[in-house]
Structure 1
């Protein structure tokens, strides 16, 4: 039985690989983008596109309520193509704002729509220094400084909003560094995850919905990845058939 799903950030790297997986699994997807130009792409992938800015809380709430989703998925980021180093400092600030203010708006909209579950994109390289590999229960790096402090602060805010969104069940996917189609990278530093496998974790979170945080990355020495495998049934080798 398919679910009604509201996917925020559907035109991003993970979103574009997630929409086909959700549609193939029989789910009905309302997919957001900020750019009218990307709506045709989303429609071709099988979603019902909606143009909305996550910082416009009223418009976002109206869009989510209209979609009547059981599940809201948060794949919003604001990063430059190919993670262009000359643009990353500015992008880090914008991305942290999406993770805090944008997530807060999305949680409120999900509550207004009586959604049951919220699945959100986080990152797996913000643990506090300590013994590796890190488990999901290890603390995040709240003592970070400089640019890292901006990123970590955004992630901590996002996870707090999502995991504290009761009565909604909050699920956080702590992704490794992405590579593959649409990411601008053919490989990535550890912890790494292929964009298709990252999207697959979100599909499994839709279908299995266990509250909490999950490290989602290929086996590596920095973070433990067995929780996603055992509780979600995730496989790091998953790829979309082209």
Structure 2
């Protein structure tokens, strides 16, 4: 099939391109920068320049490609170190791509006659922070988010609702880790752990669901040909509290065990949202993705992934 990847030089897009080429698909991938098209071409696809926030640019790129499938991986997350106290500010550009950018892609998809639309989303902290520790796709997005994350939650809800209303698939990736990620060798979070600057807040009772970056790409490749319209959690098999995974990450990178600090001490530094990430968030189940996409993670647990898959 002809597959159009919006955001083909990003963390997932760059890994997705060679997978789809190897599967025999005719792939067109976009980048905002002409300087990065060579990487797309080298992977066996055809690179085109596209500005995801410019409706005319999106329309031209999609209509000329005439894709059967569009994969929406547009973000502005490269090199981002979120300020947890001002979370929405850090994610403002990505939020625009999840709102206006999604609208532009869906309009172009309809005009080009693309029969399948796949969009990335996120699972973990957007989950309702009450009830069961592990959520399915049937559980809603948090209706009472932290003040610092309201705009980002709204953008996530927007991309999900627009995509599913158009008959598309939404892939909610868990906390990504691996080469090139914040949780990866040389990544921002690993550097914080190595420097002893990432403490365990409160009881560390927040539950995280991880996904190795290569597993995120393989799940997306599976969704190109499998799965009905709807939302899918793309996570590993092992949701775990921060009190387990943060010390394990420190051990995996040869760092000292993280210090513990009370939530009231941490709140002025990382804000309500940062404390929530450490103490209140919920994990996610991958049962639906396993069942309906025929996908299973090559890294079923972050425990082994942290030891051997950080890059």
Question: Cα–Cα, structure 1 residues 229 and 209, in superposed 2: closer, same or farther, change >3 Å?
Answer: closer
Give the equivalent residue in structure 1 for 2:148: 147
- TM-score normalised over the length of structure 1: 0.91
* Residue pairs, 1:8-47, within 5 angstroms: 8-47=6-45
Distance 2:44 2:92 in 1: 33
Q: 2:81 aligns with which of 65, 78, 84?
A: 84
**Contact residue 142 and residue 149 of structure 1 kept, 8 A:** no
Instruction: Say whether 1:193 aligns with 2:211.
Output: yes
Give the equivalent residue in structure 2 for 1:214: 232
Distance 2:54 2:97 in 1: 12
* Residue pairs, 1:66-105, within 5 angstroms: 66-81=64-79, 83-85=80-82, 90-105=89-104
Distance 2:154 2:19 in 1: 31
Q: CA RMSD in A?
A: 2.1
Give the equivalent residue in structure 2 for 1:128: 128
Give the equivalent residue in structure 2 for 1:118: 117
Structure 2, unpaired ranges of 5+: 190-206, 241-282, 300-304, 306-310
- Offset of residue 88 of structure 1: 6.0
Residue 135 of structure 2 aligns to a residue in which SS? Answer: coil
Structure 1, unpaired ranges of 5+: none
Distance 1:23 1:90 in 2: 36
Residue 91 of structure 2 aligns to a residue in which SS? Answer: helix
* Residue pairs, 1:170-189, within 5 angstroms: 170-186=168-184
Q: Write out per-residue CA displacement over residues 140-172 of structure 1, whole angstroms, 9 at most, x where no aligned residue.
A: 11321322112111100000110011xxx3000
- Offset of residue 190 of structure 1: 2.2
- Offset of residue 89 of structure 1: 5.0
- Offset of residue 191 of structure 1: 1.0
Distance 1:91 1:40 in 2: 29
- TM-score normalised over the length of structure 2: 0.71
Question: Cα–Cα, structure 1 residues 89 and 148, in superposed 2: closer, same or farther, change >3 Å?
Answer: closer
Q: Write out per-residue CA displacement over residues 53-92 of structure 1, whole angstroms, 9 at most, x where no aligned residue.
A: 01110121111011010100001111141x3235965331
Instruction: Give the number of aligned pairs.
Output: 235
Structure of larger gyration radius = 2
